[in-house]
Structure 1
Amino acid sequence: MRVLEDGSHTGHRLAIAESVLAPHTQGPPQHRHARHDEGFYVLSGTVRFTVGDEDHDATTGTLVMVPPGTPHTFANPTDQPAVMLSTFTPDLYVQYFRDLQEVLAGGRPLTPQANIEAMSRFATRPATDLA
């Protein structure tokens, strides 16, 4: 993931990141954000979004918006990489990705529990009723 705008130029109203999902990449545990909207624009490939108990395959050029409280996750189930832009309004969630990077840089595995612990610091909770 590459943070393109961390909110410092938008009064913390908007952050933007680019993500490359390797083939057969699992996403984060399904979760809900309490305080921010999240948007995904698929630049290339196919990304499978799970919203509640429904799967939706988003191909190149698809925009997916996730309002607060909506249970969701994403993955790349295909044999090809996928690239997407993500928006966060406000920018609250950008630090979550930096925290995950620190986990990996520290030599610790990025387990579902480590992911959930990082999420919890940014008004985000697992959608345990859908696990």
Structure 2
Amino acid sequence: MVRPREGERIVLGTTRMRVLEDGTRTEHRLAVTESVLAPHTPGPPQHRHARHDEGFYVLSGTVRFTVGEDVCDATAGTFVLVPPGAPHTFANTTGQPAVLLSLFTPDLYVQYFRDLRDTIAERRTPSPQGHLRTMSRYATEPATGLAEGAGR
């Protein structure tokens, strides 16, 4: 059980994340995070994961998802599932915060968020090559030739 003020906190720029399950209690089959996206948070460039599914449930606000060439403004109560290999990104293009519950099967990607947090905490900006190396440790790569952001 993770109560409201519990869970590991990860701050990534304008996104505040709370790790509800990092995989340690599920034999690494599942990880769950809650993220608050500040207004006008651009989100990551489109990318694809080779080894894990990623699910997003919008708890409040509106989140713009781009999966391949498809763009959808998802409101509270919407669930988006991104299977391995599907290029995707998301953003909060509105003036209000948005809250997402994210599921990762298996738990692989939670450590990526920790690595990114640690890089930011050390006041280092990873080079594009360094960022690609970090992503590749978690079976993730940029999706090239597609819409770069969800903020359009």
Q: TM-score, normalising length from structure 2? A: 0.81
Task: Identify the structure with bigger relative contact order (alpha carbons < 8 Å, sequence gap 6+).
Answer: 1
Say yes or no: does 1:124 pair with 2:140.
yes
Aligned to 1:63: 79
Give the one of 75, 83, 87 matched to 2:91. Answer: 75
Larger relative helix fraction: 1
Cα distance change of structure 1 residues 87 and 45 upon mapping to structure 2, 3 Å threshold: same
Aligned to 1:94: 110
Say yes or no: does 1:39 pair with 2:52.
no
In the alignment, the residues of structure 2 paired with residue 39 and residue 115 of structure 1 have an alpha-carbon distance, to the nearest angstrom, of: 23
Give the one of 67, 70, 78 matched to 1:51. Answer: 67
Aligned to 1:19: 35
User: How many correspondences in the alignment?
Assistant: 131
- Quote how far apart the aligned CAs of 1:119 are: 1.6
Give the one of 103, 112, 115 matched to 2:119. Answer: 103
Cα distance change of structure 1 residues 45 and 51 upon mapping to structure 2, 3 Å threshold: same
Q: For residue 81 of structure 1, what is the amino acid of its counterpart?
A: P
Decide which structure has the larger Cα Rg and report it: 2
Cα distance change of structure 1 residues 24 and 59 upon mapping to structure 2, 3 Å threshold: same
Moved over 3 A (4+): 109-117
Q: TM-score, normalising length from structure 1? A: 0.93
- Quote how far apart the aligned CAs of 1:117 are: 3.7
**Paired-residue identity, %:** 73
In the alignment, the residues of structure 2 paired with residue 50 and residue 17 of structure 1 have an alpha-carbon distance, to the nearest angstrom, of: 20
